[in-house]
Structures are given as structure tokens and as C-alpha cells.
Amino acid sequence: MKILVTGANSLLGAHLVLEISARGYTGTGFVRQGARLKALEGTGIEVIRGDITSAADIERASRGCDAIIHAAALSDHSIPSYGKFCEINVNGSLNVINAAIKNGIRKVVYISTANTIGYGNAEKPGTEGDPPLPPYTGSYYVRSKIEAERAIIDKSNGTGVDVTIINPTFILGAYDAKPTSGESVLRGLKNRIIVITPGGKNFVNATDVAKAACNALTEGIHLRKHLVSGTNMDFYSFYRELNRLTGNNKPIVRLPSFIFLLAGYLFQPLFRAGLKTRINLVNMRMICTKNFYKEGRSVTELKVPISPVTEGISESVKWFRENGYC
């Protein structure tokens, strides 16, 4: 089986490439022009450069493939315009479906986000049946992922292209060259004092998400969402575990939510005026929320057991240290 992986140079993309290779499949990586390939060093994968917003580029890259795992996305929460998210995450995803239709590709696995599903708390975590909730529905990134899911479902219906949706929580692991979600780990490695909110997340290992996506190539149900979750942790517990794994004893200072929300209110007019900043009201609300999820269909239907979150944290720490990030 020959598989095209879009966004192959990302944290998850690199793990997808490695998982594909381990299964004996042939992988091709699609990355944007000028993208760094540090995460793909040593994989030996064929790389095709192009633009996900170009129908011709994705059509060319996917010729001769049997399946596409679409992991490319814009996830920068500091961008103050929805238009860019729509262009890449929505229209780019439609380009993938159109390329599959034109090239006779029967399977597409779409990597979305758990935040298109409603979160819960420790007592009642979110499941695939829960609708998305604020403050995440106010995020341009999450909004574009919700729209992309709907668009590819509508576009693929009746075309013969089988689409499975993967909804991972907050991904941790090696190969986060940009970095993206690994910034949470880097913050704990580089800062002398770790300042946190009262919020929390569900943390999942990149290896689990890659396995779920690859299993979905043959086991995924058409137009079905598959939550790939891991361990629910508030930020204090997360950084306490990071301290333990790294042998550090850095102080962890948990500030009340109103301080972060005040910062969000103060910066919101600048964000609306076009300033690129992560300090905006929606982002501050999100990081103050306990964003917890239950075991998802990746376990029950795709047969991927949840691995200990310590594995993802340790792999992330090791990779950052070996590659001079801290």
C-alpha cells in the first residue's frame, strides 16, 4: 500500500511516517515549500513539496497512492484572522478529497482535533457523542476544524472515497521540530519557575495517534469520528510529573484564572485589530479550562490501547535535549 502523508514534517507527521514504514507500507510525505525537514531526518521517505491550498499540487502528489492520511493543518492560535485558517484547514482538506476522487483513491484518514468534540471534567469526561463547547468553539483553529469535518463529509458522500476522522487530544512525543504542542514541555525544561493556570488537558502520545490513524486505513468506519485520548491531567500534575522524569525540583506556581483572563481582555482589542498574539481572550479562556476526555473509539474500534503519558513526555524531553532545544 502506498500512502501519502500531508504535513509529514510535523510532530504527528513524523510518527505517521515511521508507523507506515514499520508496517511495510510505502510512504510519501507532502510538505510545504521551504518547510524544515528536521523531523524526517533518517526516515528515508520520499518528500514532495507543494501547497495544500493548491488543488494541482495535492493532485500531483497523490497520483499512484492507495490512501491519504491528511495531517497538514494551521494550528497557530496567535493568528488574528479566520481567513487563513479557512484557506488551509477547510479548503486544503477539500483539495485532498477532490484529489482522492480524481485519482481513484478509496481511503482518506483525516486528522482533526478532539476539540470538535465537547470536553468534560474528571467525573464526566467528554466522548464522541458530545457537541463542541465554548471556549473552544471561539477558537479560529477549532472553528476551522469543525467546518473542515462537515465539508469533507459532504464532499465525500456518494463518491466512493471512504473517509475516517481521527480526533486526537493534546499530542506529546519526539520530532516536534517547530515546536508545537512540545512547547509545554520546553517551558518546563527552560524556565526556572513554571507558571501555570488552574486548567488542564488530556495528553496523548504521538505513537498512539499514529497507530490509530494507520489502523483506520483498514478498520476505520466511513464518516465516523474516532477520539484518540490519553491521560487527563491538570497542569500542576503535568509539570510535577515532568519534574520527576527530569530529576528537577522547579517551583510550580499556579495563578488564579482571573489574572490570565484580565490579560486576555486587555489584549483582545489589539488581537481584533490584527496583532499576532497568543494573549487573547479565547486563548486565555482555553488554557484556564480543564479539557478532559474519556477513552475513545480508537481503543474500542481501532484497537489501540492507551500507553502511559510518561512515555510521550520522556520521548519529547529526550528529543529536545538531543537536538539542542534546551
Residue closest to 184 by CA, chosen among 163, 165, 199: 199
Instruction: State which amino acid sits at residue 62.
Output: S
pLDDT band of residue 139 (cuts 50, 70, 90) is: very high
The stretch 132-160 carries a mean pLDDT of 97
Q: What is the pLDDT of residue 28?
A: 95
The stretch 170-195 carries a mean pLDDT of 96
With H, G, I as helix, E, B as strand and everything else as coil, classify residue 318: helix
Q: What is the pLDDT of residue 157?
A: 92
Q: C-alpha grid cell for residue 325?
A: 532545544
Q: What is the pLDDT of residue 43?
A: 81
**pLDDT above 90 (res 36):** no
**pLDDT above 90 (res 35):** no
Q: What is the pLDDT of residue 39?
A: 85
Please give the model's pTM, rounded to 2 decimal places. Answer: 0.96
**pLDDT above 90 (res 38):** no
Is the CA virtual torsion 37, 41, 43, 44 positive or negative? positive
Torsional class of 160: left (φ above 0), alpha (ψ -120 to 50), beta (otherwise): left
**pLDDT above 90 (res 185):** yes
Q: What percent of the chain has pLDDT over 90?
A: 95
Q: What is the pLDDT of residue 179?
A: 93
Q: What is the pLDDT of residue 149?
A: 98
The stretch 132-155 carries a mean pLDDT of 98
**pLDDT above 90 (res 113):** yes
Residue 196, strand partner residues: 254
pLDDT band of residue 41 (cuts 50, 70, 90) is: confident
Long-range contacts of residues 264-272, Cβ cutoff 8 Å, at least 24 apart: 271/80, 272/80
Cis amide leading into 179 (omega within 30): yes
Domains along the chain with CATH numbers? 2-181+202-230+293-308 (3.40.50.720)
pLDDT band of residue 37 (cuts 50, 70, 90) is: confident
**pLDDT above 90 (res 258):** yes
Residue closest to 32 by CA, chosen among 15, 11, 47, 12: 47
Residue 41 makes CB contacts below 8 A (sequence gap 6+) with none
pLDDT in tens, 58-106: 999 999 999 999 999 999 999 999 999 999 999 999 999 999 999 999 9
Name the residue with higher pLDDT: 35 or 146: 146
Q: What is the pLDDT of residue 168?
A: 98
pLDDT band of residue 171 (cuts 50, 70, 90) is: very high
The stretch 264-275 carries a mean pLDDT of 97
pLDDT band of residue 44 (cuts 50, 70, 90) is: confident
**pLDDT above 90 (res 34):** no
Instruction: State which amino acid sits at residue 178.
Output: K
Q: What percent of the chain has pLDDT over 70?
A: 100
pLDDT in tens, 211-223: 999 999 999 989 9
Residue 111 CA: distances (Å) to CA of 39, 117, 169: 18, 13, 11
Q: C-alpha grid cell for residue 24?
A: 511495510
Residue closest to 86 by CA, chosen among 48, 52, 50: 52
pLDDT averaged over the chain? 96
